[in-house]
Amino acid sequence: MRALVIALAALGLPGTIFAQPIGHIHQVSHCIVKVKDEADVPARAPGQLKSIAVTEGDRVQANQVAAHLDDREAQKQHEIATIRWAAAQHEAESDIGKRSAIAQAKTAHMELRRIDSANRRVFGTVPASERDRQEQEWQQALLRGEQADHEHDTSTYEVQLRHAEMQAAELVVELKSVRSPIDGQVVEVYKHVGEAVQAGE
C-alpha cells in the first residue's frame, strides 16, 4: 500500500531552485514550482489501519507518525517477552542451587570425617560400606555444586536470549507505526482507517 505521498516543493526562477522551508508561504509570480522530493510512505508490517494522523495538505516532519496499524497483538507479544526477560534475570540472579549444593557437600564431608574419626579410635566402628556410601554422597554433592555453576552460566545466556526476544518484539510494535521519511506536505492519502494493508504496499 502506498499509504500516502509526501512531497517537498521547491520554487524556481529560471535557472535557480530554492527549497521552500516548511511553515513559510510566499506568494511569488512568474515562477515554476517543482517537486524537489517525493516519497511514498508504505506500511512496514502487515495489519489493519487503526488511525491516520495526517490529511492531504498537512505539513509533516521526517520521522513523524503518519498512521498507526492495529498493534494490540504486537503489544501483548512485547509484554510477554518483557516478562520472560525479567523472569530469566531473576533466575540468573538466584544462587540458591549453588548454596544448597555447598551446604549438602559440607554436611556430607563433615559426616565422612566423623566416620573416619570414629574408625581411627576403634577400627570397624562404622562399616566400610557405610563409609563408602557417605563418601559417594559427598562426591555427589560436589557434582551438584558444579551442575549449579553450569546452570548459572547457562542462565546468563538465557537472559541474553530473552532480552533479544524482547527487543525483537519491541521492533514489531514500532513497525506498526507508519512514519514520514522526509519533511514535506501530504499530497495524497490512499488508504482509510479499517483497511487491511501488507508490508511495502
Q: pLDDT tens for residues 127-174?
A: 999 999 999 999 999 999 999 999 989 999 999 999 999 999 999 999
Rg of the chain over all Cα atoms, to the nearest angstrom: 34
Average the pLDDT over 13-23 and give the result: 37
Global pTM value: 0.67
